[in-house]
Amino acid sequence: MARIKFHYNPDTCQYERVRVKPLDIALNLLGFLTLATLLGLGLAYALSGYIQDADKARLRAENDELKIHFDLLSKQIAEVDDVLSALQHRDDNVYRVIFEAEPIPASVRQAGTGGTEKYQHLRRKGLKNETLILEAYQKVDRLKREMYIQSKSYDEIAKLVKNKTKMLAAMPAIQPISNKQLIRLTSGFGMRIHPIYKVGQFHPGIDFAAPHGTPIYATADGEVEKAQYDPGYGNQVTLKHGYGYQTLYAHMSSFNVKPGQKVKRGECIGYVGSTGFSTAPHVHYEVIYKGEQVNPVYFFFKDLSAEEYEKVLKLASIENQSLS
């Protein structure tokens, strides 16, 4: 219930009831609304400024945090790039040199992954740091491409390793008889005195003197090409090893293999004898590479130390008479 207001009238010396006019009510209401509106606008302006400042502070904090993460990401990309570059250098200058393979051309390693249209979807977004973001995407794409090429290179290296292992197994690498004391080598490769004719003659292999029946070993993995009697070489075995290598073992007393048989390095293929053109029990040993007889002494690297190898080289270089 609205309160009734009175005022004192000095003319009549009485309290008279105050009559509120509708215009006064309207003016009072309008004034209140005006004041309230002004106060509301002022408060809204003040609050909006505070909110905007808070939003700006929050966005600045987020931007600073994103910049830290972006800098860390850029640093990690650079580290990955360095590691990949080191792998590429080792691949080209170590692994491929060892396995006699051509290095991968830089034009292949650095091949592009697409033009600028690939990143149009980023450009359309109107990113403020568009350049930095595009550079990061391009670096990642380049690294992915180079890592793919490097993985394919390692696949190729793995095949070369496998092939190299077979090649090393096919390369003559040991002496054909047990010669730990290094006393059995009696005649080296080159010009020697013929045992019967007593004249200088080229000796296409080396001779190892040993008691009759001493085991003779295959010096590399291979296949028996010949196991037969020859007037000069007597009982001889010829092994074909692949990769251009063959070995010949002559003057055997008997065979322990037959043609077509697969043999491994160190496997007994026959026994020392004095068959054919021979003056004493021994094995005549030859290494043939791509059809040419080469000095077998250079293929004793697997079962000799450096000092022993030097001693064998000296023994093989002494001028002496061939036994066959």
Which CATH number is 260's domain given? 2.70.70.10
108 found inside a domain: yes
If asked whether residues 86 and 156 sit together in one domain, one would say yes
20 found inside a domain: yes
If asked whether residues 201 and 285 sit together in one domain, one would say yes
Q: What is the pLDDT of residues 126-168, one digit of tens each?
A: 556 667 777 777 888 888 888 888 888 888 888 887 888 888 8
Residue 107 token pair? 């034009």
If asked whether residues 217 and 306 sit together in one domain, one would say yes
149 found inside a domain: yes
Three-state SS at 68:
helix
Boundary-marking domain end, from 67, 99, 120: 67
Cα→Cα distances 40→30, 37, 181, 208, 303, Å: 15, 5, 111, 115, 100
Q: Report the alpha-carbon distance of residue 143 to residue 135 in Å, rounded.
A: 12
pLDDT at 228: 96
If asked whether residues 131 and 206 sit together in one domain, one would say no
The answer on pLDDT for 317 being more than 70 is: no
pLDDT at 147: 86
Residue 313 token pair? 């080289």
179 found inside a domain: no
Query: Are 182 and 311 spatial neighbours (Cβ–Cβ below 8 Å)?
Result: yes
pTM comes to 0.55
221 found inside a domain: yes
The phi and psi torsions of 53 (rounded to 5 degrees) equal -65, -40
If asked whether residues 164 and 259 sit together in one domain, one would say no
C-alpha radius of gyration, the chain, whole number: 49
If asked whether residues 63 and 82 sit together in one domain, one would say no
Q: Report the alpha-carbon distance of residue 322 to residue 314 in Å, rounded.
A: 16
The residue ranking higher by pLDDT, 130 or 124, is 130
283 found inside a domain: yes
What is the average pLDDT score of the chain?
79
If asked whether residues 194 and 159 sit together in one domain, one would say no
Which residues contact residue 157 at a Cβ distance below 8 angstroms, ignoring those fewer than 6 apart? 91, 95, 96, 99, 101
Range of the domain at 155: 75-170
Number of domains comprising the chain = 3
Residue 187 token pair? 């005649």
If asked whether residues 81 and 57 sit together in one domain, one would say no
Reported residue count of the chain is 324
175 found inside a domain: no
The answer on pLDDT for 52 being more than 90 is: no
128 found inside a domain: yes
If asked whether residues 165 and 236 sit together in one domain, one would say no
Q: Report the alpha-carbon distance of residue 161 to residue 150 in Å, rounded.
A: 16
pLDDT at 260: 96
Boundary-marking domain end, from 136, 170, 204: 170
The full DSSP string for 231-283 is TTTEEEEEEEEETTEEEEEEEEEEES--TT-EE-TT-EEEEEB--SS-SSSEE
The residue ranking higher by pLDDT, 12 or 240, is 240
If asked whether residues 306 and 206 sit together in one domain, one would say yes
If asked whether residues 189 and 299 sit together in one domain, one would say yes
Q: How confident is the model at residue 125 (pLDDT cuts 50, 70, 90)?
A: low
Nearest Cα residue to 227 out of 191, 266, 275 = 275
Boundary-marking domain end, from 170, 199, 225: 170
If asked whether residues 32 and 48 sit together in one domain, one would say yes
Three-state SS at 223:
strand
Residue 158 token pair? 């793995």
